[in-house]
Amino acid sequence: MITALLHGLGTAAPLVVGAAVGQRWHVPRPVLAVLMAFGAGTMIAAASEELFGPAFQAVSPARAAAALLLGAGVYVSANYVLDRRAGSGAAVGWGLMLGAALDGVPENTALGVSLGSGGVVLLVAIAVGNLPEAVGSAATFREAGISPRRGLALWSGVGVLLVAVTVLAHALSDTVGAGGIATAQAFAGGATLAVLADTLMPEAYREGGWWVGLATALGFLTSYLLG
């Protein structure tokens, strides 16, 4: 149980640290763009190598595809609602936070049940992607006028959720079937792809320009090598 708690904290800590950095200090927009692009690259590799790929091998293609599309559909629908209700400046921040929760829960579920068999690799891949996601979201919150205390509290809440999911998944690892984990992984892969297409990559390109493609490739390579 202690191991699961430490792994959960390892994925949550980058969220809180990133939120603190983005909320309390001015991050130059080009630097923020690089961080988001790097994070996008790690998420591309994680979506294919750590999430959808294993799910596709574990369950039927139809089931994996349905879970993938469901994950993307849930994110797109929720993000659409946020775009309409939140101010235009805060919408990106809320979208990144939503994405962290939607793909983080299945990812941390997989992490909890895989401890002892590659869990460290998945832990590092998740943590590498979480940091720039939180920095980008929190910086957007700050620019939209959301107080640092509230922004940090929101991201801390996401972190607590992910820690709890990791510990609970580990505790139930003997009862959670391989098919259920695979479905959750495919769902997370779909949510991740939707985050990339709807929020993270467009924002990174808008702030950084054409050269952020290099940062995306570097993030992909880093995550791929870790896997």
pLDDT surpasses 80 at 116: no
Give me the residue label for tokens 């595809």.
65
The full DSSP string for 36-101 is: HHHHHHHHHHIIIIIIIHHHHHHS-HHHHHHHHHHHHHHHHHHHHHHHHHS-HHHHHHHHHHHHHH
| Residue 120: predicted pLDDT | 66
| Residue 28: predicted pLDDT | 83
Residue 110 and residue 90: Cα distance in Å, rounded?
30
Domain boundaries, the chain: 2-226
Which of the pair, 77 or 125, is modelled with greater confidence? 77
| Residue 60: predicted pLDDT | 94
Quote helix, strand, coil % in the chain, to nearest 5: 90, 0, 10
Tens digits of per-residue pLDDT, 59-99? 999 999 999 999 999 888 887 877 776 555 566 677 778 77
| Residue 117: predicted pLDDT | 53
Tens digits of per-residue pLDDT, 153-171? 888 888 999 999 889 888 8
Which of the pair, 94 or 14, is modelled with greater confidence? 14
| Residue 82: predicted pLDDT | 72
Tens digits of per-residue pLDDT, 132-152? 778 877 887 777 777 788 888
Stated pTM of the model: 0.77
Tens digits of per-residue pLDDT, 175-223? 767 788 788 888 888 988 988 888 788 888 887 878 889 999 998 998 7
| Residue 121: predicted pLDDT | 65
| Residue 106: predicted pLDDT | 74
Q: How many CA atoms lie within 13 A of 190 on its CB side?
A: 22
